[in-house]
Structure 1
């Protein structure tokens, strides 16, 4: 063993120990390992940085943006709600359904592409079912790898052994030759994870930031907004046509508050925004077909509608109605928030109508929470008292500006809340982009990395992700740096001869004990190596060795080559061994120890089962 090999293995061992301890950030460990390997001239600077130009890393960046688009358009929520109807909130049924669906997709789409499609849906499903996403995301990642064994194109190692067999003069494998092995893998994987899930993060409340404030739905329910919001539409004969809200004096005459106007702007393409939403201001001019959102008692809204020949679009809402109708108050442009005033504010003891909230801050006050009371009507004549919590509605950008005022405290984070409001009108576009990406990945018409990057760019161009800045925010840079930093480690392992030494030594050691023991040796050697080098590189390295060992024993090479393919693909014990494992790490809030507790037993169990069943499918 030469010095370079010793240094490489030592760096690998130290990095693994730090990953397991979790005391140092994983991306910092990966970069530190790279620096050490460069300092000892084991890797050139170009080799050390090659991980960041690797197609897998670039794909990961694109997939985060694609996932952001699927989330922000509400597509994930729509699909997850359908899945929720099928599985209910039972965690066992959800886990089984997610793994089976993911495995089927993984049979035709790369495991990274499968995660891109499924991860936003699964996170949304978990949130809807009030389940910790960490309970489902690791099974999702593992299922994408299990599904790769169902078909010839499911994972690159399958194609590697196909090529090795054909070059050696043997008959290649067909598209579905792998299917029986894949089915066994999925059954074993699902059964094992139903037992091993006890080691996944528990369903605990997220108390990281207790000052985030209440959600939009909670605020709407708390202030009983559903019982006080009505819509009236302006007809062609209405006398309020072309008048400003200031001229109409609706608050003083009817004790009502007009909070929003929705106006049709285009009907040409239903995929794009057709309704303009704006907060009602004193200078807002009413136009024909405008829909006015009016806040106040039903009787007064009815009188207002009759006096001005308006069409009342809603009936009276019963008090026991549970729906909060929060979606009427919060869209991608407009939202609600709770605000407090500091003791030194000049607005304290002023009447609402004199506060200038609408004129100065461009927001409407919908209600006041004072001690145990909620004041919702005739607010203009109310004096603001210290300790009052006021529910305001306005454009998200105006609420965010209000938060910058020194005398005003906005409970929660308006910009963060605005990002939670989905752009449902863009969901068909996001679905089309996702379908295009899947078709490109299946057909291999262009390289996989190009397919993902095209999808990511289209998500931004068609505003499925709100802006380029939001696109950058969807990317988890820790995962990107972790994978980019660890990929060159495999170069060092191969370059120093450590991989060849381990693989050849293991096979030569076990060759005298019969084909079954040698098969186990090939499988577990592959399984260990794939923790540190990519599954494709692992298969390329070990497939010729497995073929030569089988020929030396005078037995069929098929079970040995399939052992290489399966062993290279079934890698669960490390977060950086496969892109899916890394992709779910941040969203599931996993530590390295979670992969050891759940992934390592699964990897061992899978190995034992595969060594037992491979000779049944492919005779020695």
Structure 2
């Protein structure tokens, strides 16, 4: 049996177990990583490679700083003030979360935005007397929508630009992706607020960072926690080379513990280890699919489907579907790097502009809505909400359709073939 067949069998078994959940999703995720290694698809030394990453360090630091807002009593005040603006309607809270996360994620790392905002939106939900799970999922979607607005909104956008340069094309500029991103933000926000959230149950789960004993408001400690979180948001937005986000998050957590806003024991308890382990397991699963050759086989199938004289609509549809489906099981950057040269070759073969094809691949490759293991932030949200695989499918697949419709509508006017 070929490695690709074995990899697809492991992937299929993983998806079935995620849907059925006879064992915890974490057991399935780590078990899949081990299976890929002992099937010879990835090195055994790479099973836990994902845990040795800057993302894990960033998450741990931000969870501690975020939890400090609860420990100092600050979230009660913030939640009450924000609910005065939104009211106690869960839909209004979801809408506000989507708008703010869209705006911030257009210029900041989406994981950074999510970890910074999660305590605040959870506090809003507590003050409004509603569960936080749907709002935290809205935070995930808003951060993903915002990533489409500018070239720095998500790392895969910059990777796509680099791939274009390697193929002797002029990369998209900072705002080159903006018309598509704005359309996705507006329609995606409307979709999730009025349709998508109805697909999601309220799990009633309280994230680890919010599981604290009620404490009286401490003005001095609250000020320290607030300033620390504000400074981290500035670092996330500016992304200075000498102060990476994960280093800033660790410094922030040290400030919180050093000023006794939280004890070391409380800080350790604030880290959601289930969430961290889920995020870490994603790397091996994604690498296993990538190295199996499944992506390359899909690319070959695309060329066969398109034939020698495909219509531009056919190109748009087939490339979007292929890239969007692959990015649900494989990291978005490898997906984009795989499809970009294929797309440019197709454009040259049928004598059309390569730029609309590059845009399709960039957007479809980053449309990681529909599975828990499509992106680290998706796995992180599983830890916060306890949503199941089918919940991601129910809310994510229609959003893929919304993204596709935006691309089809905007390309003829902004990037014609």
Distance 2:38 2:413 in 1: 50
Post-superposition shift, 1:420?
5.0
Matches within 5 A, 1:155-554: 155-193=154-192, 194-202=194-202, 418=213, 420-421=215-216, 423-446=218-241, 447-464=244-261, 466-511=262-307, 512-554=309-351
Alignment CA distance shift 1:59-1:417 (3 Å):
closer
Post-superposition offset of 1:83:
2.2
Match of 2:24 in 1: 25
- Tell me if structure 1 keeps the 8 A contact 2:78–2:120: yes
- Aligned partners of 1:418, 1:520: CA distance in 2, in Å? 52
Give the corresponding residue for 1:5: 4
1:42 match: 41
Distance 1:104 1:541 in 2: 30
2:353 maps to which of 514, 538, 556: 556
Note the residue ranges of structure 2 that are not aligned, 5 or more in a row: none
- Quick one: structure 1 residues 417 and 477, their matched pair in 2 at CA, closer, same or farther if it must change by over 3 Å? closer
How far apart, CA to CA, are the structure 2 residues paired with 1:417 and 1:177?
Answer: 44
Q: CA deviation at 1:448?
A: 3.1
CA shift at 1:419, angstroms?
A: 5.1
- For the pair 1:593 / 2:402, whether they are aligned, the reply is no
Call closer, same or farther: CA 1:560–1:129 in 2, change over 3 Å.
Answer: same
Note closer, same or farther for the CA distance 1:428–1:540 as it changes in structure 2 (3 Å cut): farther
Answer whether contact 1:142 1:581 (CA < 8 A) is retained: no
Return the TM-score normalized by structure 1.
Answer: 0.62
Aligned to 1:327: none
Q: Pick closer, same or farther for the CA change 1:503–1:93 going to 2, 3 Å.
A: same
Q: Distance in 1 between matches of 2:283 and 2:203?
A: 33
| Alignment match of 2:406 (pick from 606, 609, 618) | 609
**1:156 and 1:121 mapped to 2: Cα distance?**
25
Q: Distance in 1 between matches of 2:251 and 2:408?
A: 41
Q: Which runs of 4+ in 1 moved over 6 A?
A: none
1:65 aligns to 2:64 (yes or no): yes
Q: Write the distance in 2 (CA, Å) between the matches of 1:421 and 1:200.
A: 34
Aligned residues: 409
Tell me, yes or no, if the aligned pair for 1:504 and 1:545 is still in contact at 8 Å. Answer: no
Cα deviation code 1:196-225 (max 9, x no counterpart): 211212487x89xxxxxxxxxxxxxxxxxx
Superposition deviation, residue 27 in structure 1:
0.7
Aligned match of 2:130 = 131
Contact 1:60 1:579 in 2 (8 A): no
Whether contact under 8 Å (2:332, 2:365) holds in the other structure is: yes
TM-score under structure 2 length normalisation: 0.91
Q: 1:417 and 1:434 mapped to 2: Cα distance?
A: 18
> How far does residue 584 in structure 1 lie from its aligned partner after superposition?
2.4
Q: Which moved more, 1:178-187 or 1:65-74?
A: 65-74
Counterpart Cα distance in 2 of 1:570 and 1:422: 41
Distance in 1 of aligned mates of 2:332 and 2:215 = 37
- For 2:299 and 2:81, the matched residues in 1 are separated by 47
Given the superposition, is the C-alpha separation of residues 500 and 140 from structure 1 closer, same or farther in structure 2, using an over 3 Å criterion?
Answer: same
Change (3 A) 1:463 1:126: same
The superposition leaves residues 81-118 of structure 1 with CA deviations (integer Å, 9 ceiling, x where unpaired) of 33212111122222211101110010111110010111
Label 1:612 to 1:80 Cα distance change in 2 as closer, same or farther (>3 A).
same
Q: Which structure has more RCO (C-alpha within 8 Å, separation ≥ 6)?
A: 2
Cα distance, 1:64–1:614 mapped onto 2, change above 3 Å: farther
C-alpha distance in 2 between matches for 1:203 and 1:49: 29
Name the larger-Rg structure: 1
Structure-2 separation of matches of 1:425 and 1:463: 11
Structure 1, unmatched stretches of 5+, are 208-415
Sort the Cα spacing of 1:506 and 1:54 in 2 relative to 1 into closer, same or farther, 3 A. Answer: farther
Structure 1 CA distance for aligned equivalents of residues 15 and 77 of structure 2: 40
CA apart distance, 1:76: 3.4
Deviations 1:133-187 (A, max 9, x none): 1121111101001001111111112112222333333333222222221111111
The structure where strand makes up a greater share of residues is 1
Distance 1:516 1:46 in 2: 44
